[in-house]
Structure 1
């Protein structure tokens, strides 16, 4: 089952990236930072990604941009793969390749604009909306790892947000949180705009009933979706569409086991493993040979 989740990290069509070369090439995120550990865990990534989308869909302008201009309803599995792999490139790929991908995303978002159902104009590259999207993604991945893999210290949570600041700026999110306190402040200031909708219900239905993982893993998928609802902060978790859809008794321990096992499994072909090998080769080349 865990191997099925790891397949979501494989490159979708048209998104091939060489994480192995050139030797020693740095990434946008520091290779010795906590983010490289967090993003290497497929269970935390799946749960955190779902939680982030729940938060995004609760913001009216972001909801319209995501739901009206994406392929999620037509092909949710491919949309998840593309979004997850873009995160892998941002964190692990050589910085030059990551910047190129981010540039393409920004250019694509420049064409995304419209009007919400209540008549409010929006554009995807609005810095306010970008700050919320980047913040919810960071929250989702960090908090999922913290809850379901290993408890992070407050300093580690702050470090994870700080490590992502450079990438957030490239996306245009110049005000994305750089500490957990800044995330709490952003959530509090955004809370008055957050609301439930039929889209939230439709999203949960798609995620719960569409097989997104290869093989007979729908029960596992539904468990991880409940884990995502469970960790989503208020006021979103208390919305009618999410109320009562979190983890059931005893399930949190099961998710933690899955998260820890996923982190311990050998996975030499994942972006994280390939990027680590790239950095090691660069360090080996810089190590002077000792005289016999």
Structure 2
């Protein structure tokens, strides 16, 4: 019996061809840090949890998400669409990525209203767009660094600069371009981040919705807590998530690191990263070969066996 929540009929998830047309470049080059970070299913799920928690802690973003998205009624489709959009932004041919991002921007243009506290909001507010982009970059990058492969501060700086390729298409022109700018943005938003019952509702939904591949599904609750573990300590306390039930145990952290390292070496067939590599004339295993990087440089994947 399915443990997915009952609700309206599920919406369709768009289909994207990451394999064709042959040779079509993506927004990011195959040797980019983005192609490395977004290939790993461990960091993708964990980082997504971190990003959404940061977003839901902000009153205007929270209201916009909960009142204008299908997440409360059809969370699986919403998570699948978000995951697809993440991969499209990194691996899909440029024309496909730009078209789908334009669609998201147009949809956001229609999202506006007033929060329960009476604060007006609109989804395309530059401050909110910059915050959402900041949370996305922070969540995925820190999850990758914590559970897949360590990153230096210089590599983090590079990742933020690199992310502007897609950030500008999402109209997030003021998104952080360095680790220092990310920290400054967190401090600016700090007074606006707060606990709310919707945050606990979100955590309850993602723990009971079968959002992971079958072989990772038993670890879903653990990975949710891993996402919480990446939040700044002051925010974890403010959101009331410092309790034992939300804490990631040391052995669980070690287990996730082992899995994260495994998926750095083992390609998953017919996924966006492997298909995009093949589209660019590279082996499907391109992103999973051993690579080297000098201190402070982004990693360069080797296509050599």
TM-score calculated relative to the size of structure 1: 0.88
Written as runs of structure 1 = structure 2, the 5 A alignment for 1:127-142 is 127-142=126-141
Deviation at 1:246, TM superposition (A): 2.5
Q: Which runs of 5+ in 1 are unaligned?
A: 1-11, 282-292
Deviations 1:165-191 (Å, cap 9, x if unpaired)? 021011010100111111001001110
1:21 — aligned with what?
20
Q: Distance in 2 between matches of 1:162 and 1:123?
A: 26
Does the aligned pair in 1 maintain the 2:13–2:81 contact within 8 Å?
no
For residues 110-166 of structure 1, give each alpha carbon's deviation from its aligned partner in whole angstroms, at most 9, with x where no partner exists.
111111111000000001000000110110000000000010111211111111102
**Correspondence list, 1:103-252, <5 A:** 103-213=102-212, 215=214, 218-244=217-243, 245-252=246-253
Looking at structure 2, the residues matched to 90 and 215 of structure 1 have their Cα atoms a distance apart, in angstroms, of 25
Paired residue for 2:280?
279
Q: Which residue of 2 aligns with 1:8?
A: none
In structure 2, the partner of 1:9 is: none
Structure 2 counterpart of 1:289: none
Q: Once the 2 structures are TM-superposed, how far is the Cα of residue 215 of structure 1 from its aligned partner?
A: 4.3
Contact kept in structure 2, 1:211 and 1:217, CA below 8 Å: no
Determine if contact 1:194/1:235 at 8 Å carries over to the other structure.
Answer: no
| Map 1:2-41 → 2, pairs under 5 A | 13-41=12-40
1:114 is paired with a residue whose SS is: strand
Q: Distance in 2 between matches of 1:220 and 1:214?
A: 10
Residues 28/77 of structure 1: CA separation in 2 closer, same or farther (3 Å cut): same
Tell me, which stretches of 5 or more residues in structure 2 are unaligned? 1-10, 283-305
Sort the Cα spacing of 1:216 and 1:23 in 2 relative to 1 into closer, same or farther, 3 A: closer
Superposition RMSD on alpha carbons, in Å?
1.6
Q: Is residue 270 of structure 1 aligned with residue 245 of structure 2?
A: no
* Cα deviations by residue, 1:22-49 (Å, 9 ceiling, x for unpaired): 2222111122111101000011000000
Query: 1: distance between equivalents of 2:220 and 2:248?
Result: 13
Separation in structure 2 between the aligned mates of residue 187 and residue 27 of structure 1, nearest angstrom: 30
Q: Which aligned segments of 4 or more residues in structure 1 are displaced greater than 3 angstroms? A: 213-219
The structure-2 alpha-carbon separation of the partners of 1:243 and 1:203, relative to structure 1 and needing over 3 Å to count, comes to same
Q: Is the 8 A contact 1:209 1:218 kept in 2?
A: no
Aligned to 1:58: 57
The residue that corresponds to 1:71 in the other structure is 70
Instruction: Count residues in correspondence.
Output: 270
